[in-house]
Amino acid sequence: MSESWIAGINPVEGALSNDAERVRELLIENGQRNPRLQELIERARELKIPVQHRPREQLDKLAGAARHQGIVARYEAPPLATENDLAELLEQAGSDALVLVLDGVTDPHNLGACLRSAAAAGVTAVIVPKDRAVGLTPVARRASAGGADRVPLIAATNLARALRQLKDAGVWITGLAGDTDTSIYAIDFKGPVALVLGSEGEGMRRLTRDTCDFVAKIPMPGTMESLNVSVATGIALFEAIRQRSGGQRGGK
């Protein structure tokens, strides 16, 4: 277990709603009269979670780059899942397995937004490299709007090995890249599948790309050449959801 600080009204509310047993205390900025803060204070007291009032400067320091809105929570985060947990997650999901792989996302806002989309799509697990990628920082947790508490996040020590584990379990892997003629709308996302998106600047690493079964692009008829990774994640995940909900089938 490791302690971290969750900053902001919505992230703290999400933690109290989804994982209250891990919230150790709330710190409230002195003099705050925000009605939503009062609601969170009352909920914390009902849950027997200590509530302390502190100067704004202390909350600024604990929140780091995240906007705290007058509230931070000390949170005992569970350890991130590992490749060892992947087999059980895939077995539980069966043919409904939908995995998101983020190869080197370094911006915490992007990671948080991807986790939010993953939670909304009911993703089985999100896999990220343990190194050379952003972790679950307070900024990422805030940007996830509670998604970080609702989807398993696996920090893989060896991403290529984790991808091979997916393939051995019968998961079809599609990587997203701009330099291909294949559209994601031509890919069959029914059954157990994984979607791989690369870093904000460089995209997927070569070894990651070579491990994919398919490489596809999001068609963009406009003048922009690329999308933000979190936007691309949302589009790709919900194309998979559309197909799996009875939309027109692609082809493998």
CATH code of 142's domain: 3.40.1280.10
* Whether residue 70 sits in one domain with residue 121: no
pLDDT value, residue 17: 85
> Cα(120)–Cα(224) distance, rounded to whole angstroms?
26
Residue-wise pLDDT tens digits, 118-156 = 999 999 999 999 887 777 777 787 778 777 778 889 989
* Residue 201 belongs to some domain of the structure: yes
* Binding-site residues from annotation: 198, 218, 227
The residue-averaged pLDDT of 54-64 equals 91
> Is residue 186 situated within a structural domain?
yes
| Same structural domain, 149 and 171 | yes
Statement: the pTM of the whole predicted model exceeds 0.85: no
What is the reported pLDDT for 108? 86
If asked whether residues 92 and 61 sit together in one domain, one would say no
Q: Which of 77, 108, 126 is the last residue of a domain?
A: 77
Which has more confidence, 251 or 40?
Answer: 40
Tell whether 107 and 48 lie within a shared domain: no
Give CA 109 to chain center in angstroms.
Answer: 10
State the pLDDT at residue 39: 95
Cβ–Cβ < 8 Å for 166, 194: yes
Structural domain total, the chain: 2
* Residue ranges of the binding site for S-adenosyl-L-methionine: 198, 218, 227
Residue 99's domain comprises 83-244
